[in-house]
Structure 1
């Protein structure tokens, strides 16, 4: 599969994904993880798609599995780094995972930011550049938008572990006891 992935001549991230293996913290079928060269927190990683996709607005529902693999791989690297340095496992409220959207793109190759802990970030990075919203979108929101646009139902819809209730109105807590 990897040999079928498209690359663009002159694209720095295509070059990193394909040839600069010494920079790879982890490599999977469709993505690689590297350290950000201008980290905004103690842990700031980029998950780069091996397939050249210029920007998040080019994504379709067919790319949902890619995004899920990218997020899973980035989280694996973060957990490994935290464990290696004796830190606690990931605290979701201290984590940013997502993509910059136009006009904030500086590299035109799909890459996901994994930033932890957000308390390390400077004010501008935390409140503007990497704040979830229009210019920086959380990966979960991107996936949800792609599902909605394609009419794909949320696979967790109705799952009692997510919404803590069943259709009959019995709470998940009552069932577990």
Structure 2
């Protein structure tokens, strides 16, 4: 029962307007409760679509609207679009379709495991454009095989900004902090809710 409550947590968050960073008639943007980077947002449709595996070509317009919301929330942070990854998990763990908008720094106390890292930095993370192309071509999103998912989850830890490799998440996190400190542009924290 607890897992079910956790898996449906996005729906509870979606239904409480106090959690909305941006809200439109089509969807909402919320902050991830356990951010894996300095900036980590989720864009959810108001329509009840359980996951990427329930998408059909008729949802393409909705997906483009969700993508527009992701661009809007990036603009609010005063960061550049290139500082972010926008996409979906290939193996979603929570109910309700959600698009991740996550800064590439991956500096966060909530990033704790190899699985966390690899869920955003291997093929377990499907960029928005790739998912849309796949949906147009195949008419649906296919699930990955369990063995392939396990292989991706165990992929060697490699920096997403250079060729650095390590065996431990703490070492990777120290390395990522160096990249952040060297970064020329600093993003601001977003603290005010905005409605469009």
Q: Which of the five TM-score ranges fits, normalised by the shorter chain?
A: 0.5 to 0.7
Among candidates 96, 118, 132, match of residue 128 of structure 1: 118
Paired residues of 1:132 and 1:138 also in contact (CA < 8 A): no
Q: Name the structure, 1 or 2, with higher relative contact order (CA <8 Å, separation 6+).
A: 2
Q: CA RMSD, aligned part only?
A: 2.3
Among candidates 58, 61, 72, match of residue 68 of structure 2: 72
Poorly superposed stretches of 4+, deviation over 2 Å: 10-17, 117-127
**TM-score, scaled to structure 1:** 0.65
Would you say 1:114 and 2:107 are equivalent positions? no
CA separation of 1:50 and 1:132: change in aligned 2, threshold 3 A: farther
Paired residues of 1:99 and 1:137 also in contact (CA < 8 A): yes
The structural deviation recorded for 1:47 is 0.4
User: Quick one: distance in 2 between partners of 1:56 and 1:115?
Assistant: 18
Secondary structure of the equivalent of 1:79? helix
**TM-score, scaled to structure 2:** 0.59
Paired residues of 1:40 and 1:125 also in contact (CA < 8 A): no
Runs (5+) with no aligned partner, structure 2: 1-6, 140-196
Could you say which residue in structure 1 is the equivalent of 2:179?
none
Give the aligned length: 130
Runs (5+) with no aligned partner, structure 1: 1-9, 83-88, 151-177
Could you say which residue in structure 2 is the equivalent of 1:97?
86
User: Quick one: distance in 2 between partners of 1:101 and 1:65?
Assistant: 20
Q: Which has the larger radius of gyration?
A: 1
Could you say which residue in structure 1 is the equivalent of 2:172?
none
Could you say which residue in structure 2 is the equivalent of 1:44?
40
